[in-house]
Amino acid sequence: EAGVTQFPSHSVIEKGQTVTLRCDPISGHDNLYWYRRVMGKEIKFLLHFVKESKQDESGMPNNRFLAERTGGTYSTLKVQPAELEDSGVYFCASSLGYSPLHFGNGTRLTVT
C-alpha cells in the first residue's frame, strides 16, 4: 500500500508570501496529524483530524496557520503570511483508529 505522501518535498518562499502544504494519508486512515520540526528543536505536534473534524489543534502556533481536511481524505496546511520562524520540516502522519501513526517524509519549508 502507498504510504503517507507529502507535497512539495521542498518549498522556498519569501517572508510575507503564502504557502500551502499537502498531505495524502494512507487510504482509509481516519486520523491525520500534522507535526513540525524547526531548526534544532524537537518534533512538535500541531493538530489532529478525525475524518474532516479537528479533534485537537492545541499545537497550532498562531492564526497564520490554517489546516483543512475537506471530505476527510487529503489535508492542506496553509501558512499566510509566512514568517522567518516558520522555516522547518512539516510532517504529516495518519493512522486507523488507535493503530500506530505512519509518517510521511515531510515538506522542508524555507522562508527567506
Partner 1 sequence: DAKTTQPPSMDCAEGRAANLPCNHSTISGNEYVYWYRQIHSQGPQYIIHGLKNNETNEMASLIITEDRKSSTLILPHATLRDTAVYYCIVRIYTGTASKLTFGTGTRLQVTL
- Strand, helix or coil at 71? helix
- Which of 29, 48, 75, 94 binds partner 1 (CB under 8 A)? It is 48
Which residue's CB is nearer to partner 1, number 17 or number 73?
73
- Which of 31, 67, 86, 88 binds partner 1 (CB under 8 A)? It is 31
- Which of 33, 79, 82, 94 binds partner 1 (CB under 8 A)? It is 33
Asked if 26 is part of the footprint of partner 1 (rule: CB under 8 A), the reply reads no
- Grid coordinates of 107: 515538506
Shortest CA distance to 109 belongs to which of 5, 13, 43, 22? 13
φ, ψ of residue 62 in degrees (nearest 5): -170, 180
- Which of 28, 42, 62, 63 binds partner 1 (CB under 8 A)? It is 42
Pairing mode, strands 10-13 and 107-111: parallel
